Chain A
Amino acid sequence: MKKLRQWLFHWQQWKTPLLPMKRLNVRTKAFALTVILFSLIVTIYGVGILIPQKAVATDFAHAKQPPSWQHLFGTDNLGRDILVRTLKGMSVSVTIGIVASCISAVIGILIGIAAAVGSRFWDSVINWLIDLIMGIPHTVFIILISFALGRGLKGLLAGIAATHWASLARLIRGEVLQLRNQHYITVSRRLGKSGSWILIHHMLPHLVPQFLVGLILMFPHAILHEASISFLGYGLPPEQPAVGIILAESMTYLSAGMWWMAVFPGLVLVLIVWLIDQLGENLRRVIDPFHAQE
C-alpha cells in the first residue's frame, strides 16, 4: 500500500514531462491530434482500397467460423473473412460519404450565399425550401430519391447529397447576413467596389473556414446515413461489401448465434465515424480560434 502511494506520488510529480501533450497549448494540441487522426483514417481507408477482390472470395470450407487468430472477426455464411470485408466495405462507405458531403456542402454554401445576398423574396423562398427539406424525414426522403433514380449507387449519392445541405445553408446565410453589416464592408461598398468583388475579397475568407468545418462535420452524418440506407436494402448491390449490407446479411444469422457477423463490422463503423468526428472537432479548434478555448 505504501509502495503504491509512493508510486502514485512519483507519477503525479513526473507525469507532466512524461506526457508532452499536457504541456502544449490547446491549438497546438488540436493540430497534432488532427494530423494523427487524419493519418489514421487515411491508413484504414488505404488498406480497404488496396485489398484485392480475391481476398473476399467465397470459401465454403471455412464458413461460419467464430473469431480466431486466422480470422480475427470470424467468417460469414459463405466463408469470407469478415475483417477483410469490413475494411473493404468501410472504404466504399467512406468514399460515398465524402463525395456526397462534398456535393451537399457546395450546394449548402451556394444556397446560403444566395439567400443572404439576394432580395427578400429569394430569401423567403430559400427559407421555405430549407423548411421543406427538413420537413420530410431524411430516411424517407432518401428512400424516395433512391427509388426515383432506380436505386443503386447514384440514388444513394443523390439522396444523401440532397438532404444534408440545409443546416449548412442556414449557417452560411446567418454568417453572410452578419458580415454584410460590418463596417469594413460598408466602407468598401461606399468606395465603389462591386458586389462580387466584396464577396470574393471580404466574405469568402470568412466563409471558407465555416465551409470546411461544416463539410467535415457532415462526413459522420453522411457515412451513418449511407450505412443505414444500404442496411435497408437500397443503394449498393449485394456483391459490393458496404458495411450496411454486411450488417443486413448478419440479421439472418442472429438467431443462429453468429454474433461476430453483426458486432465487429458495426464496431469498425462506430470507430471510423468517431475518428472522423474527432478530426472535425480538432480541425475546428485549429481553424476557428475564437471558440478554441471552450
Chain B
Amino acid sequence: MKNTVKQIVLLFLKNSIRMLSLLFAVSIISFALVSVSPIDPVQQYIMGIGPVSEEQRAEIEAYWGLDRPPVARYIRWLSALFRGDFGTSLLYRRPVTEIILERFQNSLVLMLCAWGVSGIIGFSLGCVMGMNQGKWQDRLFRKLCYFLSSVPTFWLGLVFLLLFSVRLGWFPVGFSTPIGMRNSEVRIWQRLHHLALPAFTLSLMSFSDIALHTRQKMIDVMNSAYVLFARARGEFGWTLFVRHGLRNTLLPALTLQFASFAELFGGSVLAENVFSYPGLGSAVSAAGLHSDVPLLLGITLFSTLFVCIGNMTANLLYGVIDPKIREAQS
C-alpha cells in the first residue's frame, strides 16, 4: 500500500514536470510566432479608435513596450504571467484572465456534455461491434464510424442548424442564452436548450474514434484464453460481457477519452463558431482575426494547459488503476 502511494506521487511529479516544460515551450513558441507576424497590432488598434498622429502612435508603442527587442518583451510578458496578469484584450477591452475564465465556463459545459455523450455512445457502440464481430451490427456501425470521420464537424453543425433550427424550429439559432435577457434571469432549461445542438454536433465528431478503439479491444478480449475458458464453463451473452468484456475494455476507453482533449478543444472552436456560442473557441478565432495578441496568447496557453491536464489524467489512470501495469512498473 505504501509502495503504491509512493508510486502515484512519483508518477504525478514526473508528469507535472513534463507538463511545465511543455507549457514553457509553448509560451516561447507562441510568443515567437506572434512576434514575427507581419500583422501590426498597433495598426489594428488604431483602426478601432480613429485617426492618430505619429507621436501618439509612438506613445502607444512605448506603452505596450513594442519599441523594445522581442526577448525583453518576452521576459516582461512572462513575469507578468507569473503574477497572474495576461494583459488586456484589445478586442473586448477587458483583462484577458477575466474573459478566459468567463468564456471557459461556457466552453467547459459544452465540452463536458459532448465528451460524456460521445464517450457513452462510442463505448456502447464499440462494445456492440466487438461482441458481434463480423455480423450485421458490426458492419453497419463500422461503416457509420468510418463515414463520420470524413464528415467535417462544422458542416454537420450547419446542416443541423438548417434542419432543426431554421426548418423545424426546435432549437434556437445560436448563442448560449435567449437574446435580450440578463444572465441572472436565464433559467437552466433555457441554457440546456441552447446547448443541445452544439453539444450533439461536437459529440458526433469524436465518438467514432472511441467506438473503433473499443471494438478492437473487445475483439482482442473475446479472442483471449480466459474468455475461451469462460465460454467452456458455459458463460455467454450478457454475463460474459459484464464479467470479462466490460472490465477489460473500460479502462483503455476511459484513457483514450481523456487523451482526446486536444481534438475536443479543436472541435469546439468550430462548433462554437457555427452556433455563435460565446466560449473560448469563438474567442480564439476572433482574437486571431482581429489581431488581439494578448487574448490569442492567453487562450493558446490555457488550451495547452487543458490538453495537458487531460493527457496527465490519462497517464495517471493507466498507471494507478490498472493493477497489471502498476505491478509491472514496480
Q: Footprint of B on A, CB under 8 Å?
A: 128, 131-132, 134-141, 143-151, 220, 224, 227-228, 231-234, 247, 250-251, 254-255, 257, 259, 262-263, 266, 269-270, 273-274, 277
Contact = CB atoms under 8 A, between A and B. Distances in A.
A146 B166 CA distance: 33
A128 B158 CA distance: 38
Contacts of B308: 135
B266 A138 contact: yes
14 contacts: A134-B262, A135-B262, A139-B267, A140-B266, A144-B300, A150-B38, A224-B152, A231-B273, A233-B289, A251-B158, A259-B162, A269-B152, A269-B155, A274-B147
B311 to A, nearest CB: 7
Given A232-B285, A259-B162, A148 B154 contact: no
Contact of B37 (A141, A148, A250): A148
A262 B39 CA distance: 31
Given A224-B152, A228-B152, A231-B273, 14 more contacts: A132-B29, A135-B262, A137-B269, A139-B266, A141-B300, A146-B288, A147-B296, A148-B37, A150-B37, A150-B38, A234-B285, A254-B161, A255-B173, A259-B166
B253 to A, nearest CB: 19
B151 interface: yes
Given A140-B266, A255-B166, A135 B311 contact: yes
Contact of B33 (A139, A148, A233): A148
B26 A139 contact: no
Given A132-B26, A270-B151, A232 B166 contact: no
A260 to B, nearest CB: 10
A140 B303 contact: yes
List of 3 A-B pairs having minimum Cβ-Cβ separation, nearest first = A266-B155, A148-B33, A139-B266
A234 B289 contact: yes
B18 interface: yes
Contacts of A274: 147, 150
B158 A137 contact: no
A196 B24 CA distance: 36
**Residue with the greatest number of chain A CB neighbours at <10 A, chosen from B18, B149, B269:** B269
Contacts of B33: 144-145, 147-148
Interface residues of B, number: 52
B147 A262 contact: no
Nearest to B311: A135
Contacts of A144: 30, 33-34, 288, 296, 300
The interface residues of chain B, by DSSP majority, are classed as: helix
The interface residues of chain A, by DSSP majority, are classed as: helix
Nearest to A141: B300
A137 B155 contact: no
A143 B291 CA distance: 11
B206 to A, nearest CB: 13
Given A140-B269, A270-B152, A135 B307 contact: yes
A247 B155 CA distance: 8
Given A138-B266, A254-B158, A228 B153 contact: yes
A163 B33 CA distance: 14
Contacts of B289: 232-234
Contacts of A224: 150, 152
A136 B162 CA distance: 32
Contact of A228 (B147, B154, B162, B284): B154
Nearest to B302: A140
A144 B304 CA distance: 13
A143 B159 CA distance: 25
Interface string B260-285: 00110111011001100000010011
A257 B284 CA distance: 29
**Residue with the greatest number of chain B CB neighbours at <10 A, chosen from A144, A151, A273, A274:** A144
Contacts of B269: 137, 139-140, 143, 232
A231 B270 contact: yes
Contacts of B325: none
Given A136-B303, A144-B300, A148-B37, A250 B158 contact: yes
A131 B299 contact: no
B21 interface: yes
Contacts of A140: 265-266, 269, 284, 299-300, 303
Given A137-B266, A137-B303, A140-B303, A232 B158 contact: no
Nearest to B38: A150
Interface string B126-154: 00000000000000000000110111111
A228 B173 CA distance: 20
A269 B158 CA distance: 14
B25 interface: yes
